[in-house]
Structure 1
Amino acid sequence: MYIASYLSSLMQMSRIVKKSPSVCTDLPLNSSDVCNKLRLMKELLKSSYGPTARLKQVHNNIGGAVVTTSTSSVLLQAISSSHPIVSLIKGSILNHVSRFSDCGLFASIFCLSLIEEAGRCDLSKNVIIRVNKHLLSLCTAHLQQEDCGCKVQLDFCSSQSLITLARSVISSKPTCVLSEPESAHISRLAVQAFLLTVPCNIPDKVRLGRTVTIPMEGHSVLESAVFPGLLLDTPENISLGNLCSPLRMVLFSASLAGDLSELGDGRIEVHQGVDTDSQIVDQLLELGKQVLKDEVKLFVCQKVIHPVLQHYLRCNGVIVIERLGISLMEPLIQLTGAQPVATLHTTVPWEAYGEVHNVSVRPFGSKTKLHLHPAGKTTICTMILCHRNETMLSELKLVCQKTEHVLRLTLREPCALLGGGCTETHLAAYVRHQSKNDVSESSPVLGCSQTEYLLAAEAFCRSLESVATSLEHDDGASLIDLTHAHHWTLPSDAAEEHLEDAAALCGCGVVQSCQNKKWSYLNTEYAEFSPEPLLTASPLQPTVLDSFTAKVNALEVAVETANLVLDVRYVIQDVN
């Protein structure tokens, strides 16, 4: 009684307390608190960028698993902030990553750098926004040109460029802890799996296949392998015997456990004295007799199969697989051509059957897998992914999935961009040169003075260069050569007089150092120049590549998000 009275008084008090008015903040980017949050976010993401990045451990305040990563999708989801500006940037980048799987850190660092540089230069935000839009269109138009100096055409007649692209994605995640041979091995497997999912005969409507990844903890990375077809958990008491190829199979999406709850919605009437269990078992056995009559050798169910039906089928030489799970249903349908049967109360139609060429058992350490070999050319394959511990394995699985997505993007745009910061420095040099040349034409169109246009363009170029400098985490210096505008890294212990010896190759590996080459430190003043094109007969091939489609979109997302943040005049927050 006292408790009820106390709760009633609390409810009355809650009605009495007035709702606090919303808080309206004018010019949020003028707030030191907001700027500090954005600066901290930028430093966090910068230190996670590139193959030598510093790892982050993500955990909550109530315990649970600790995640070690440097991946943008994981880091951004872990960042929690009540301020709408931070949430806006985070949501925009995560949306890009969900669509393209790559260049999330590039987009984040570039976006935050644009906002930071805009605060440093004494210009109207409207002017900066208009110039940013103009320079973005300048960059994208340059990148779309066939003779773009930082663009590489991918040759699908050779897998080497695809392997380089895959290796660039994989080696950029240090949490995977891969040696050079291991990184090369996983890169080749990723490309092999990707090519297996591309159909050989192109119909009117192209449908790509699937790669099913099975993680194996405690094994060497070099034991990882790719197999055409599908590998499933080996059922108990399996006996392959003498099976003739091909094998007919049936796939059930409905439960065959015999529970009344699995019969569907509606009213069930049971007559007095009727044994429902025996009737359901009889129905299941009738189903078993039909599939035996139709010469089915592989019986698969997404859910549970009644033990009596299992025993009956196995005694008649049928391989029975239960609890397949919904995630493997679609790959199995594509592999076998089977149509899932959703009920046990009708006969299985003949067109619902699928087939596999053969089945075999493959051992992997202490585990065994049942390998379903495709009856013809297939676009379904299985990747067995091995690593030494759970943390490295979970990160490697995530990276391999992203790599598959990046490789698929090459089917849309069969080209890539130079990696290692070279695209960023090339674009910065190109934009500087173009903005100096067209300042008299562009500034009136954009409604600003020539000085304002050049200051805004310089802020844009410095933001691009800051992304390239973010690749260095060991106190080294970042440079740009004044010929091709590629990015170079100078170790912290290197002598400035012998730059050509300290930096043998640029970041992407295409340009070699030489004695007459001139450099300048990034984010310092140097004379603008037009980057010279590389010789087409150059013997060096890029060692680091970035996804063209993902990076161009990331460039657009970064500029558009930065402009959106710069355009925010008021922030209205409900504090109740």
Structure 2
Amino acid sequence: MSRLAKKSPPVCVDLPLDDSDFRRKLKCLRQLLESCFGPAGRLKQVHNNIGGHVITTSTSSVLLQSASSSHPLMKIITASVLGHVSRFSDCGLFVAIFCLALIDRANKSGLCQSTAIRVNQHLLSTCTGYLHQEDCGCKLKLDFCGSQNLIGLSRSVICSKPACVLTELEAMHISRLAVQAFVMTVPCEGPGRVSLGRVVTVSVEGLPVKDSSVFPGLLVEIPEILYPGIIENDSSAPLKMVLYTASLSGDLFELGDGSLEVNAHVDTESQMLDQLLELGSQAVKDEVKLFVCQKVIHPVLQHYLRQHGVMVIERLGGTLVEPLIQLTGVKPVATLQTIIPPEAYGQVNSLSIRHFGFKRMMHLHPPENTVICTMILCHRNETMLSELKVVCQKAEHVLRLTLREPSALLGGGCTETHLAAHIRNQGINKVAEAALMLGCSEREYLLGMEAFCCSLDSVAQSLEHNGGNSLIDLTHGHHWTIPADVTQAQWEQVMGSCGCGLVEKRPDKEWTYLNTKYSEFSPAPLSRNTNLQPRVLDSFTAKLNALQIAVETANLVLNVRFIIQDVN
């Protein structure tokens, strides 16, 4: 009884947003994520206090999974960001920074939380409605007849992560490879339901980035002892193959669950080996040339198969099973207790060996046009290579999203400032109508609108990490940056182009500092006759969802009145 302790009652916290400790945590998280935002973002090293692997990154998913918090509202924000990234791969930092800015601005505006929530939701609808319009000034239609815009979108994703440490030429090379791999995964069939293929990524440390490449088919790493058994198919007939997902190690415990009765005088090891050799005999009889197992193959079975001219690959791993099925049409065999059915066999056109540094890869050439390809990613060290692999997978996902909605948004902070200018213009012109609809005063609506627009502007400002100033032009509403020591009289001398690269300086153009008062204006659409190409693009689908998630999460946090915690 001495070990029993009295159960403590739950702790109820009233008005958690008024808690100074919670506000300090929000500010700390916002500063952490803002400092990582964009191609000039600062890197973070993640490690624990007992040693282990050190990760260098500026990726939101890695940082938020590592920086855990016990506060319930912090958990809600983190879960929202990670949920968005798991679905769309991009704009995770945008979600977090915009959400935290909305919460901070709502607290400082003096509005009651219910009014701030209604205004935020109304302005979100205004943003999404504008972004879906054909004449939206910050949206660009993607042309699939050429690869220029797709490469620009891919490059924007890859260059946003400085931990990859890529030169301009290396970034362009990887961007082209990402687009090439994406195009390979799109089938050539006509109208109707189609299934996209898959990109298998293989990392090779120590080689220069320019050695990275994309190959149709599948590359599987193999040990050197397999070389003598490599089959080069010179004929036009494809090679037959079989795939086992069950273990062929010969161990009884690999047979599965259930009870097993064994006679005391029976040698179970030899019985299992005989059964394995029967499978091998059938494979040889059916003229199988490639025998693949997801797990382990008994050495005696391997020796038997190689003696009969069959190429053997074991320990394939679960990640390569599905791509191999798509590539060859093979149907995996999940048990060794039945004969191999004829329809289970697949086909490869040929096998060859490729060398990438210390890795030796078997190249499985597809029998015809395939939607499976392998991207070989090379980099100088493990840290850069790990980040590059993550970023290339994100770029692949972002490119796939363009099939759903063939549009992109202008990057470099121009979409955020353009949206803020559009909302201010709409809000001033329709303030009485909006206030009546939302059940608040015109003053409250204007305060909520300004908080929302300043939050958008602060996302664009987060792209600057060298002490410079952020500006907005009063014609198109695009984002510009200048060094900190430049005076207003020198603006025209140092201005080049806006953040996305589509607007260039002109003598008649006016600018003002972001997050300062300026006369509202209707952002003018860009001329479609210009030969300029956008320097930075963002995924339309990912950013639209990010905008919605950020506002909805901020509203959820603002709406929390009590937190009840069990402290036992």
Q: Is the Cα contact below 8 Å between 2:204 and 2:359 reproduced in 1?
A: no
1:67-103 deviation digits (Å, cap 9, x = unpaired): 1111000111122222112111111111111111111
AA aligned to 2:458 is: S
Deviates more, 1:538-547 or 1:281-290: 281-290
Partner of 2:2: 13
Q: Is the Cα contact below 8 Å between 2:119 and 2:445 reproduced in 1?
A: yes
Q: Which runs of 5+ in 2 are unaligned?
A: none
Q: Find the aligned partners of 1:241 and 1:302 in 2 and give their Cα distance.
A: 20
Q: Find the aligned partners of 2:336 and 2:74 in 1 and give their Cα distance.
A: 53
Share of identical aligned residues, percent? 65
1:205 Cα deviation after fit: 2.7
Partner of 1:137: 125
Change in CA separation of 1:256 and 1:147 when aligned onto 2, cut-off 3 Å = same
- Matching of residue 566 in structure 1 with residue 555 in structure 2: no
1:185 Cα deviation after fit: 0.7
Q: Secondary structure at the match of 2:404?
A: coil
AA aligned to 2:60 is: S
Q: Is the Cα contact below 8 Å between 1:361 and 1:368 reproduced in 2?
A: yes
Q: Find the aligned partners of 2:262 and 2:9 in 1 and give their Cα distance.
A: 62
Q: Which runs of structure 2 are paired with 1:80-119 in the superposition (5 Å)? A: 80-119=68-107
The match for 1:237 among 226, 244, 252 is: 226
Q: Which runs of structure 2 are paired with 1:348-359 in the superposition (5 Å)? A: 348-359=340-351
Partner of 1:6: none
Once superposed, what is the RMSD of the aligned Cα atoms?
A: 1.3
Aligned pairs, number: 564
AA aligned to 2:529 is: A
Q: Find the aligned partners of 1:537 and 1:341 in 2 and give their Cα distance.
A: 59
Partner of 2:375: 383
Q: Secondary structure at the match of 1:237?
A: helix
Q: Find the aligned partners of 1:141 and 1:505 in 2 and give their Cα distance.
A: 28
Partner of 2:529: 537
Partner of 1:160: 148
1:277-328 deviation digits (Å, cap 9, x = unpaired): 2332222222222111211111111111111111111111111111111111
Q: Find the aligned partners of 1:515 and 1:380 in 2 and give their Cα distance.
A: 52
Q: Is the Cα contact below 8 Å between 2:232 and 2:350 reproduced in 1?
A: no
Q: Find the aligned partners of 2:397 and 2:508 in 1 and give their Cα distance.
A: 42
- TM-score, normalised to structure 2, is 0.97
Q: Which runs of structure 2 are paired with 1:241-252 in the superposition (5 Å)? A: 241=231, 243=233, 244=235, 245-252=237-244
Q: Is the Cα contact below 8 Å between 2:231 and 2:311 reproduced in 1?
A: no
The match for 2:496 among 486, 495, 504 is: 504
Change in CA separation of 1:311 and 1:41 when aligned onto 2, cut-off 3 Å = same
Q: Secondary structure at the match of 2:403?
A: coil
Q: Find the aligned partners of 1:337 and 1:500 in 2 and give their Cα distance.
A: 62
AA aligned to 2:186 is: V
Q: Find the aligned partners of 2:530 and 2:19 in 1 and give their Cα distance.
A: 51
Partner of 1:191: 179
1:32 Cα deviation after fit: 1.5
1:534-559 deviation digits (Å, cap 9, x = unpaired): 11101101110001011011101111
Partner of 1:219: 207
Q: Find the aligned partners of 1:95 and 1:366 in 2 and give their Cα distance.
A: 37
AA aligned to 1:527 is: S
AA aligned to 1:156 is: F
The match for 2:539 among 547, 561, 565 is: 547
The match for 1:25 among 1, 13, 16 is: 13
Q: Is the Cα contact below 8 Å between 2:216 and 2:373 reproduced in 1?
A: yes
Partner of 2:38: 50
Q: Secondary structure at the match of 1:406?
A: helix
Q: Is the Cα contact below 8 Å between 1:234 and 1:361 reproduced in 2?
A: no
Partner of 2:108: 120
1:222 Cα deviation after fit: 0.9
- Matching of residue 322 in structure 1 with residue 314 in structure 2: yes
1:318-372 deviation digits (Å, cap 9, x = unpaired): 1111111111111100000000111222221110000011110001123211000
Q: Secondary structure at the match of 1:211?
A: strand
Change in CA separation of 1:257 and 1:103 when aligned onto 2, cut-off 3 Å = same
Partner of 1:470: 462
Partner of 2:336: 344
1:91-136 deviation digits (Å, cap 9, x = unpaired): 1111111111111111111111111111111221111111111100
- TM-score, normalised to structure 1, is 0.96
1:221-260 deviation digits (Å, cap 9, x = unpaired): 1111111100011242333355334111011111111112
- Matching of residue 397 in structure 1 with residue 389 in structure 2: yes
1:500 Cα deviation after fit: 2.4
Q: Find the aligned partners of 1:241 and 1:296 in 2 and give their Cα distance.
A: 12
Q: Which runs of 5+ in 1 are unaligned?
A: 1-11
Deviates more, 1:323-332 or 1:27-36: 27-36
Q: Is the Cα contact below 8 Å between 2:204 and 2:377 reproduced in 1?
A: yes
1:206 Cα deviation after fit: 1.9
Partner of 1:479: 471
1:394-453 deviation digits (Å, cap 9, x = unpaired): 111111111111111111111000000000000000000000011111111111111111
Partner of 2:365: 373
Partner of 1:279: 271
AA aligned to 1:506 is: C
Q: Which runs of structure 2 are paired with 1:174-213 in the superposition (5 Å)? A: 174-202=162-190, 204-213=192-201
1:203 Cα deviation after fit: 6.2
Q: Find the aligned partners of 1:266 and 1:21 in 2 and give their Cα distance.
A: 47
Q: Find the aligned partners of 1:531 and 1:46 in 2 and give their Cα distance.
A: 27
Partner of 1:332: 324
Q: Find the aligned partners of 1:419 and 1:433 in 2 and give their Cα distance.
A: 21
Partner of 2:519: 527
Q: Is the Cα contact below 8 Å between 1:355 and 1:375 reproduced in 2?
A: yes
Deviates more, 1:492-501 or 1:224-233: 492-501
AA aligned to 1:219 is: L
Deviates more, 1:173-182 or 1:269-278: 269-278
